[in-house]
Amino acid sequence: MHKKMKTKMGSYSTKGNLTINTLLKHLPNKLIEYVILHEMTHSQERKHNERFWKIISKKIKEHQKREKDLLVYWFLVQTLTLSN
């Protein structure tokens, strides 16, 4: 499912529903892929704990850089869409 969310880039529910913010379409593909991986990892580990980040790091070695890049892009997207 996809929808415009005000504060989240995505979510993964306990029922297994993946929801992606439609604003992600403005991000580079590698960041979209990262958000999807991040949310899907919640199917294995609900919390952002050591186990969660270990799973992420096995798939994407530079996940910390992607997190930082994501914050920058997210801020820009939010700023641009609010001005429209």
- The per-residue pLDDT for 80 is 76
pTM: 0.84
- The per-residue pLDDT for 2 is 56
pLDDT along the chain (84 residues), means of 10: 68 91 90 95 96 97 95 85 63
Domain ranges (residues) in the chain: 2-82
- Scanning the structure block, which residue is given the tokens 């930082």? 68
Which residues, other chains included, contact 69 with Cβ-Cβ below 8 Å and sequence gap of 6+?
A: 31
- The per-residue pLDDT for 41 is 96
Cβ neighbours around 23 below 10 Å, total: 19
CATH topology of domain 2-82: Zincin-like (3.30.2010)
Structure tokens at 56: 């992420």
Q: Which long-range contacts (CB under 8 A, 24 or more apart) does 42-45 make?
A: 42/12, 43/12, 43/16
- The per-residue pLDDT for 79 is 80
- The per-residue pLDDT for 7 is 64
